[in-house]
């Protein structure tokens, strides 16, 4: 058995609220990163009808577009839309904010883009914060 030496590009962050979920995205996003994130979100939907979500993106190096267009990924995105109450994206490539602004009217969830320096404002908007590290 081979061990993947590349750490995942999407990492879950524990939060102060049961129904608030957070992910940190770094580097190049692959199909397995996306499948892992949607798996974690599917578990959240079993526990909560509606969730708030924050995705913090830094050191972005690209995206495996073929992974995003896979049937399983598309189904995950469609299913997620029914369960997300508030969606905050922090940072990311320069096209992220304008793209969210264009798409906002087509979704029932509240969604906002924040610059990386506005991360605290994004957490405040969700009325959540990162959970303190366990000692």
Is 48 or 108 the better-scoring residue by pLDDT?
48
**Cα dist from 48 to 20, 72, 99, whole Å:** 10, 22, 28
14 pLDDT tier (thresholds 50, 70, 90): very high
Residues 58-98: tens digit of each pLDDT: 988 887 766 555 555 445 555 667 899 999 999 998 888 99
Inter-CA distances, 103 with 36, 59, 106, 132, Å: 25, 24, 6, 33
43, two tokens: 């578990």
Nearest residue to 122 via CA among 52, 63, 62: 52
H helix intervals, the chain: 31-47, 65-68, 71-81, 96-103, 119-126
Q: 39: Cβ–Cβ under 8 A, 6 or more apart, which residues?
A: none
Q: What pLDDT, on a 0 to 100 scale, did the predictor assign at position 2?
A: 52
Q: How do the domains of the chain map onto residue ranges?
A: 10-126
The answer to whether the beta carbons of residues 95 and 72 sit under 8 Å apart is: no
Under CATH, what is the fold of the domain 10-126?
Transcription Regulator spoIIAA (3.30.750)
Section 113-127 average pLDDT: 97
* C-alpha closest to that of 112 among 51, 48, 53: 53
């Amino acid at each position: 058995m081979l061990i993947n030496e590349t750490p995942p590009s999407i990492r879950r962050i524990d939060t102060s609220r049961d129904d608030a979920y957070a992910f940190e995205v770094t580097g190049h996003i692959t199909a397995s990163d996306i499948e892992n994130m949607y798996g974690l979100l599917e578990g959240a939907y079993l526990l909560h009808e509606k969730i708030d979500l924050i995705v913090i993106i830094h050191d972005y190096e690209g995206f495996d577009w073929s992974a995003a267009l896979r049937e399983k990924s598309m189904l995950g995105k469609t299913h997620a839309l029914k369960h997300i109450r508030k969606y905050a994206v922090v940072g990311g490539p320069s096209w992220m904010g304008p793209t969210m602004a264009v798409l906002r009217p087509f979704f029932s969830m509240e969604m906002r883009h924040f610059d990386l320096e506005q991360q605290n404002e994004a957490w405040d908007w969700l009325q959540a914060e990162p959970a303190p590290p366990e000692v």
